[in-house]
């Protein structure tokens, strides 16, 4: 390719920096982008200001992430003016929707390249187009794009994400994902299995399967395979130590899936089951397609069939139709299920969603409910973690502690965050740790030789 030959030495010694907002799907997209940039000749740097290529991979699910993006991009205006040769790019879910994209186009002239979630494989061409013209390049596709296999850089050399599907067909009233990620589409089982087999052969110990709703895998496909069947096949791959998946929708949680988890030791005893609200009325308003009774039944079934399983959840406080009585129903479910952890959010309206047309609840009321929710669930987290004291658990050590390099952090198969004093040579290894202490968010202990 002529333009590649022209720039064959351009990328030598140049660096890139990626800032990722949002979910694990976005993290995996950043891994793909990282591979593309390094294949081009860039090397990674953690110092954004010194990087030659600066990219923000965006999230539109929460307003807070959107505001953070605008602030961080604005902070680069002076840097871009002083170093016009630097390339600044914005990608991801925010750019897939017109409202957020127009803000970047209109108010942030420092951004050189804008592309969406479905244009990652075009990044090299976008970079060359910018270098050729020195004019802003925008590439947003609305077509469903599915690659059976794409190369990517993983977070480390022992854990990897594998996409099994893209998009979502649930259309929850508050959620922008169907707009930003498109309609639901499942990858072929053969491609997924080949990818996991390759990763395991390369020495990866833990694989996390990704999808907006993994439980509905295969529903619209031209092949005959359900998610439990896929999970069973992947779990049989020789050498795979740990298998995780996220995210599950309560309406699609089947007994078959519970049985597969129960019967395969390398499928982690951890289940993320978003609640969003404990009120059946609010759940109906949210278009969640289950009620409180159904959710409690499914969560209890998990606990009964898989002893020791940890259940985490998502909870939204202050949905526009939520009353005080509705909120109390959420607290009731939290007490009854006793979640191990939770991602909690104050409702924020997202453009092009049905809920955005509703009248919001007063901020003070929402904050009061949010505080009461935390006051309810944090003691539960503490008690759940306290149950580990005296037990010996297997921990995949992931990294040094940010506060103490002599302490390593890792996860149990139940996704509990563990602190333990150990040599950093053990990072990437599964070790045994006897738990001696806990907080509401972590457990800690000593290595068992």
45-54, 120-129, 194-203, 271-280: which has the minimum mean pLDDT? 120-129
Q: Which residues, listed in sequence order, are joined to residue 431 by a DSSP beta bridge?
A: 395
Q: 421 with 391: CB under 8 angstroms?
A: no
Contacts of 193 (CB under 8 A, 6+ apart): 233, 234, 237
Mean pLDDT within 69-80: 92
- Residue 2 confidence (pLDDT) above 50: no
- Nearest CA to 435 out of 401, 395, 391 is that of 391
pLDDT of residue 169: 92
Tell which residue, 442, 445, 209, has the closest CA to residue 341.
442
Query: What is the per-residue pLDDT for 97?
Result: 77
Residue 168 annotated in ligand binding? yes
Asked if residue 261 has pLDDT above 70, the reply is yes
SS3 341: strand
Residue 1 reports pLDDT greater than 50: no
Query: Looking at residue 3, what is its pLDDT?
Result: 43
Residue 147 banded pLDDT, cuts 50, 70, 90: low
Max avg pLDDT among 179-183, 263-267, 400-404: 263-267
Contact 354, 312 (CB under 8 A): no
H or E segment and range at residue 146: none
SS3 311: strand
- Find the mean pLDDT for residues 123-145: 85
Cβ neighbours, 10 Å, residue 24: 15
- Summarised one tens digit per residue, pLDDT across range 6-58 is 676 788 899 999 999 988 888 988 999 999 999 899 999 999 999 999 999 99
Q: Is 268 annotated as a binding residue?
A: no
Residue that has been written with the tokens 């030789």 in this structure:
449
- pLDDT for position 67: 81
Least confident interval from 87-101, 191-205, 248-262: 87-101
Asked whether residue 172 is marked as a ligand-binding residue, the answer is yes
What angle (nearest 5°) sits at the alpha carbon of residue 25, between those of residues 103 and 35?
A: 90
Residue 277 CB: number of other CB atoms within 10 A?
26
Percent of the chain whose predicted confidence (pLDDT) is above 70: 96
- C-alpha–C-alpha distance, residues 318 and 373, integer Å: 11
DSSP 88-111: EEEEEHHHHSHHHHHHHHHH-TT-
For 410-448, the pLDDT digits (tens) are 999 999 999 999 999 999 999 999 999 999 999 999 999
Look up residue 226 and give its two tokens: 């359900």
CA distance 205 to 427: 12
Residue range 330-336: mean pLDDT, rounded: 98
Residue 398 binned pLDDT confidence (cut-offs 50, 70, 90): very high
* Mean per-residue pLDDT over the chain, rounded: 92
As a whole number, mean pLDDT of residues 233-260 equals: 97
Q: Judge whether 59 is annotated as a binding position.
A: yes
**How large is the average pLDDT for residues 353-372?**
96
Q: What is the pLDDT of residue 178?
A: 83
Sign of the four-CA dihedral 350, 186, 411, 154: negative
Kindly tell me the sign of the dihedral angle through the C-alpha atoms of 183, 187, 189, 193: negative
Residue 129 has which token pair? Answer: 């187009």
**pLDDT for residue 158 is more than 70:** yes
pTM of the model: 0.84
pLDDT at 205 over 70: yes
DSSP of 175-231, one letter per residue? Answer: --HHHHH-S-EEPPHHHHHHHHHHHHHTT--EEEEE-TTGGGTTTT-SS---HHHHH
334 annotated ligand binder: no
């Amino acid at each position: 390719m002529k333009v590649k030959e022209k720039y064959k030495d351009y990328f030598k010694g140049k660096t890139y920096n990626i800032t990722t907002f949002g979910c694990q799907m976005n993290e995996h997209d950043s891994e793909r982008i990282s591979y593309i940039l390094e294949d081009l000749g860039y090397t990674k740097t953690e110092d954004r200001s010194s990087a030659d290529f600066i990219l923000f991979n965006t999230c539109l699910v929460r307003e807070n992430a959107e505001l953070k993006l605008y602030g961080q991009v604005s902070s680069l205006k002076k840097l871009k003016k002083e170093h016009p040769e630097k390339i600044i790019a914005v990608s991801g879910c925010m750019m897939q929707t017109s409202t957020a994209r127009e803000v970047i186009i209109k108010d942030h002239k420092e951004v050189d390249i804008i592309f969406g979630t479905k244009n990652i494989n075009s990044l090299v061409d976008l970079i060359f187009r910018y270098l050729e013209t020195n004019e802003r390049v925008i590439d947003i596709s609305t077509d469903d794009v599915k690659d059976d296999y794409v190369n990517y850089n993983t977070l480390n050399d022992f854990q990897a994400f594998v996409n099994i599907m893209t998009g979502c067909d649930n259309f929850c009233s508050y959620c922008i994902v169907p707009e930003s990620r498109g309609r639901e589409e499942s990858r072929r089982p053969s491609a997924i299995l080949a990818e996991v087999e390759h990763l395991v052969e390369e020495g990866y110990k833990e694989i996390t399967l990704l999808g907006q709703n993994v439980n509905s895998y295969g529903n619209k496909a031209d092949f005959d395979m359900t998610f439990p069947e896929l999970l069973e096949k992947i779990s049989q791959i020789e050498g795979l130590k740990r298998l995780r998946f996220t995210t599950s929708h309560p309406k699609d949680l089947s007994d078959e899936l519970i049985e597969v988890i129960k019967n395969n030791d390398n499928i982690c005893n951890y289940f993320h089951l978003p609640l969003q609200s404990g009120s059946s009325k609010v759940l109906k308003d949210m278009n969640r397609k289950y009620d409180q009774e159904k959710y409690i039944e499914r969560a209890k079934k998990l606990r009964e069939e898989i002893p020791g399983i940890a259940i985490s959840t998502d909870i939204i406080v202050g949905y526009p139709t939520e009353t005080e009585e509705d909120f109390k129903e959420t607290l009731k479910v939290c007490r009854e299920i006793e979640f191990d952890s939770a991602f909690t959010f104050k409702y924020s309206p997202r453009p092009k969603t049905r809920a955005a047309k509703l009248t919001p609840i007063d901020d003070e009321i929402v904050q009061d409910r949010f505080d009461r929710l935390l006051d309810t669930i944090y003691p539960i987290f503490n008690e759940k973690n306290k149950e580990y004291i005296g037990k010996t658990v297997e921990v995949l050590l992931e990294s040094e502690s940010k506060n103490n390099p002599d302490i390593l952090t890792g996860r149990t198969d139940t996704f509990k965050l563990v602190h333990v004093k150990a040599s950093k040579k053990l990072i990437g290894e599964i070790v045994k740790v006897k738990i001696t202490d806990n907080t509401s968010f972590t457990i800690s202990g000593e290595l068992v030789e």
